[in-house]
Amino acid sequence: MWGICSRAMVKVGMAKPCGLVKPCHLVKPVSATRVSGRYLTHQRGLPALPVPPLQQTCERYISALEPIVEVDELKHTKELLAEFQKAGGVGERLQRGLEKRASKTDNWLSEWWVQVAYLTYRLPVVVHSSPGLVLPRMNFRDKQGQIRFAAKLIAGVLDFKTMIDNETLPVEYLGGKPLCMNQYYEVLSSCRIPGLKKDSVVNHAKSSRPPKHITVVHNFQFFVLDVYNSDGTPLTSDQLCVQLDRICSSSQQTNMVPVGILTTQHRDLWGKAYLNLIKDKTNKQSVSAIQRSIFTLCLDGAMPQVSEETCRSTAAVQMLHGGGSQWNSGNRWFDKTLQFIVGEDGTCGANYEHAPAEGPPIVALIDHVVEYTRKPEMTRSPMVPLPMPQKLHFNITPEIKKDIEEAKQDMNILAGDLDIRVTVFGHFGKDVPKSHKMSPDAFIQVALQLAYYRMYQHCCATYESASLRMFRLGRTDTIRSASNASAAFVKAFDDPNRQNTEKVDLMAKAVAAHRSYTNMAISGQAIDRHLLGLKLLALEENLSMPEIFTDPAFAKALHYRLSTSQVPSKADCVMCFGPVVPNGYGVCYNPMEDHINFAVSSFNTCKETDASQLAQAVENALLDMRTVLDQTPRAKL
């Protein structure tokens, strides 16, 4: 199993060289379709993603390999790189090709990226690609509370959508630079469509008649809910409450066939089952209504009872995959770009299909929604009778039934395999690193390196997502957190022969090196997407694959046993995702000012990994690093 999503995709290009590099025209950059407005003016003002110099990438690649490969492997790679870079060689040719591509496109990477990172990736989107988001537990514990909260949530999303529709979303900044806002225009009214070999994404927001409905799923039954009045105003929370109540009353039956579970399947199998499903006209119309909807709201049934201590981890399970076919995995349409999930016990969150966007725009939307739901009740609107939400019907043939049964089995195996722990590190947050004049993100990443080293006595290739949104249509590049500086630090930290002053010095260097890599990555000068581009171009031009890409060291560099991401938010939430390699960990964290939320995942079938153990090791590493800092005179920093 190869991990994918943006956190590990480069592996795919490497593991399965194939003709997958044709640009996708289905996820159209907004700039291709919008012809006016503030959005376009903003987008036009953004710089284009640069193609880094070839020699710089080769040198940086060698440095990145140093802490994770053996000396003889490194020597071999250096020889291959020298050959690759030589004057008139294949490296130069590919570099020129990339520069040409950059001069002719809005972003030389973005269309390739959505293809290789997502649409040609065939493992289930569930766990392997789509992140979950766990919100703080809300203050309701019954069906009525669930409905009332869900109604406010819908109203909050519609409020945010108004800003998208009017192009009045405030522009975001990173390090003082304005960011590309395209992803905000991709997440609503959009859906992934399974294909036999590759998928596509359709965005109905850009159609001449954009959708006015959402889909609601309750007890595995789907409904179309129109969320705008005939005068174009969004339904109020009170109106939505009435409609959700009607939906719940008419879907009390609990033994329904979970058609939605088909979307948890391996993409090739789902692609086949999809064609079979939509052969029937009614089924086709129902699927189309889901795909066209603005988003999906999942009103979930119960999840297994757990202690207060583990309820956040169970919530992560619910958001990530629904818990298996006996719980809520069938109460979803995982191809839908955005699904909000509300349980009866105050649990709530979301799941999103990753192809159109990264976490931060999703979290910004959700932060807005959470704030909206906390506002006092709106004034009650006069209750004009609204049409009954329309139930979506499915005709289940024996063949479809068989596909559903297979999907249930496979989903249950996957659910049983995933171990996920959500922890709150309550001892400090961004405040402590900041007080020591260190980047909090870099501090956490160095702690992760220490935790991993303590468990395994070696350093591993580590992925952290870095935003490329300073550039038009930018997505992500990789911050390689295992560096020479972090390796020197983790090896010295538990050595009783080293003085604290030396440990603090090495820590400061490791943190600074990480921050410096981050700056390099967000300014488009990291190595991973550049190497990917060179490789994809070689494939596109049918060149024999340069040996640097078939080199075992390259495979090692892309085998991310630590796949990590910071997703900050205003609300006290945490995003979660699965590991990207069978023997790896997925680690997502949200550093708040005085605490840090972590979600750590691993696979139970791998005997070497243990999510709880890593979560504990990270906590210990953070505490030990602070202790050493506190015990060491500041002048030494």
Residues forming contacts to ligand COA in the complex (CB under 6 A) are 174, 358-360, 430, 434, 437-442, 465-467, 476, 515, 518, 522, 565-567
> In the bound complex, what is the minimum distance in angstroms from residue 126's beta carbon to ligand COA?
16
Dist CA 115 CA 519 (whole Å): 26
Return the number of the residue (84 or 121) whose C-beta is nearest ligand COA: 121
Dist CA 306 CA 372 (whole Å): 29
User: Could you give the angle at the alpha carbon of 560 between the alpha carbons of 49 and 424, nearest 5°?
Assistant: 95
- Given phi > 0 = left and psi -120 to 50 = alpha, else beta, which region is 5? left
Give me 511's structure tokens. 């943190």
Return the number of the residue (7 or 267) whose C-beta is nearest ligand COA: 7
Nearest residue to 194 (alpha-carbon basis) of 407, 350, 475: 407
> In the bound complex, what is the minimum distance in angstroms from residue 618's beta carbon to ligand COA?
16
Dist CA 450 CA 624 (whole Å): 10
Dist CA 313 CA 343 (whole Å): 14
Nearest residue to 320 (alpha-carbon basis) of 149, 574, 137: 574
> In the bound complex, what is the minimum distance in angstroms from residue 486's beta carbon to ligand COA?
15
User: Could you give the angle at the alpha carbon of 168 between the alpha carbons of 166 and 173, nearest 5°?
Assistant: 145
Return the number of the residue (194 or 360) whose C-beta is nearest ligand COA: 360
Give me 94's structure tokens. 């590919």
Q: What is the DSSP string of 142-176?
A: SHHHHHHHHHHHHHHHHHHHHHHHTT-PPPPEETT
> In the bound complex, what is the minimum distance in angstroms from residue 362's beta carbon to ligand COA?
8
> Burial code of 184-222, b = ≥16 C-beta within 10 A, e = fewer?
bbbbbbbbbebbeebbbbbbbbbeeeebbbbbbbbbbbb
At which residue do the structure tokens 């349409």 appear? Answer: 333
Cβ neighbors of 136 (< 8 A, separation 6 or more) are 571, 572, 573
At which residue do the structure tokens 């600074």 appear? Answer: 512
> In the bound complex, what is the minimum distance in angstroms from residue 524's beta carbon to ligand COA?
12
In the three-class reduction of DSSP (H, G, I as helix; E, B as strand; rest coil), residue 418 is classed as: strand
Return the number of the residue (356 or 360) whose C-beta is nearest ligand COA: 360
Q: Residue 134: beta bridge partners? A: 349, 574
Q: Which helix (H) or strand (E) holds 574?
A: strand 574-576
> In the bound complex, what is the minimum distance in angstroms from residue 525's beta carbon to ligand COA?
13
Dist CA 355 CA 305 (whole Å): 33
Return the number of the residue (344 or 441) whose C-beta is nearest ligand COA: 441
Whether 76 is a known active-site residue: answer no
Return the number of the residue (277 or 482) whose C-beta is nearest ligand COA: 482
Dist CA 634 CA 403 (whole Å): 63
Computed on alpha carbons and rounded to an integer, the radius of gyration of the chain in Å comes to 24
> In the bound complex, what is the minimum distance in angstroms from residue 353's beta carbon to ligand COA?
12
Instruction: Determine the residue type at 162.
Output: T
Return the number of the residue (121 or 220) whose C-beta is nearest ligand COA: 121
At which residue do the structure tokens 């630590």 appear? Answer: 562
Return the number of the residue (28 or 434) whose C-beta is nearest ligand COA: 434
Q: What is the DSSP letter of 262?
A: G
Q: Report phi then psi at 522, rounded to 5.
A: -70, -15
> In the bound complex, what is the minimum distance in angstroms from residue 56's beta carbon to ligand COA?
20
In the three-class reduction of DSSP (H, G, I as helix; E, B as strand; rest coil), residue 548 is classed as: helix
Return the number of the residue (403 or 441) whose C-beta is nearest ligand COA: 441
Which is catalytic among the residues 354, 368, 436, 559?
Answer: 354
> In the bound complex, what is the minimum distance in angstroms from residue 364's beta carbon to ligand COA?
12
| Residues with active-site annotation | 354
